[in-house]
């Protein structure tokens, strides 16, 4: 059925614009976090960047969905969205396992890492950026009755929490400089990764929208 309500059409276009902003930021965030993480040997930054890639893929699915509604007035295939959501969940579980194993190995070997200024900058910027995006997405999602967009907003909130954890670890590393901070900080991310992975696997927000 083609969309005839102009107010809804405007809101969907706004949601589309928000997803484009999300995609642009996540691309920058992932590149900087992973690149600086590799150079500094920081597991927490690499995990943060990898989570950004998964959220980028999730935003891409929702972007496609919104474009279908804007251009054709039709809804995106829920079966395809559920499949993509399960893949993202599996990747998050794999990432959590990687973080646990690598952090445990680093603690056993007593291997530290270098401080990363680019990593500090990108995580500091991610906190207000994710807060603003999430707040706006939730408002638009409530207006158009989209559980999928609301779930995407929750992912933005999670990204903000991850940024806070990584930022605290980087500041502690800068001020204290002990070798084990990055490994311990990366383990603190596991709870967020498993929680988000479970929600993605269960396809929360992927049912038909009201």
Architecture of the structural domain at 6-201 = Up-down Bundle (1.20)
Domains of the chain by residue range: 6-201
Q: What token pair was written down for 13?
A: 């276009």
147 phi and psi angles, rounded to 5 deg: -70, -30
pLDDT tens digits, 58-81: 788 778 777 776 776 655 556 656
Angle subtended at Cα 206 by Cα 202 and Cα 210, rounded to the nearest 5 degrees:
135
Model confidence band, residue 143 (pLDDT cutoffs 50, 70, 90): confident
Nearest Cα residue to 37 out of 162, 200, 155: 162
Report the percent of the chain where pLDDT is more than 70.
84
pLDDT tens digits, 151-202: 788 788 888 888 888 888 888 888 887 778 777 877 877 887 888 778 778 7
- Report whether 165 contacts 185 (CB < 8 A): yes
Model confidence band, residue 204 (pLDDT cutoffs 50, 70, 90): low
Separation CA 170–CA 74 (nearest Å): 46
- Report whether 58 contacts 155 (CB < 8 A): yes
Please check the confidence at residue 207 and state whether its pLDDT lies above 50: no
Q: What's the rounded mean pLDDT across residues 123-138?
A: 93
* From 27-41, 63-77, 111-125, 154-168, the region with the lowest mean pLDDT: 63-77
């Amino acid at each position: 059925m083609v969309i005839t309500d102009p107010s809804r059409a405007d809101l969907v276009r706004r949601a589309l614009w928000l997803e484009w902003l999300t995609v642009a930021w996540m691309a920058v965030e992932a590149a900087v976090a992973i690149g600086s993480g590799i150079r500094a040997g920081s597991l927490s930054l690499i995990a943060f960047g990898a989570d950004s890639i998964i959220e980028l893929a999730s935003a891409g699915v929702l972007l496609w969905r919104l474009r279908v509604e804007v251009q054709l007035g039709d809804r995106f295939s829920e079966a395809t969205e559920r499949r993509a959501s399960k893949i993202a969940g599996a990747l998050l579980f794999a990432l959590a396992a990687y973080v646990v194993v690598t952090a445990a190995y680093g603690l056993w070997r007593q291997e530290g890492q270098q401080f990363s200024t680019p990593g500090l900058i990108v995580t500091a910027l991610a906190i207000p950026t994710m807060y603003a995006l999430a707040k706006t997405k939730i408002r638009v999602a409530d207006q158009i009755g989209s559980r999928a967009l609301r779930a995407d907003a929750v992912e933005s909130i999670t990204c903000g929490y991850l940024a806070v954890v990584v930022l605290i670890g980087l500041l502690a590393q800068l001020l204290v400089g002990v070798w084990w901070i990055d490994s311990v900080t990366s383990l603190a991310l596991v709870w967020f990764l498993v929680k988000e992975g479970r929600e993605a696997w269960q396809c929360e927000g992927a049912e038909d929208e009201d």
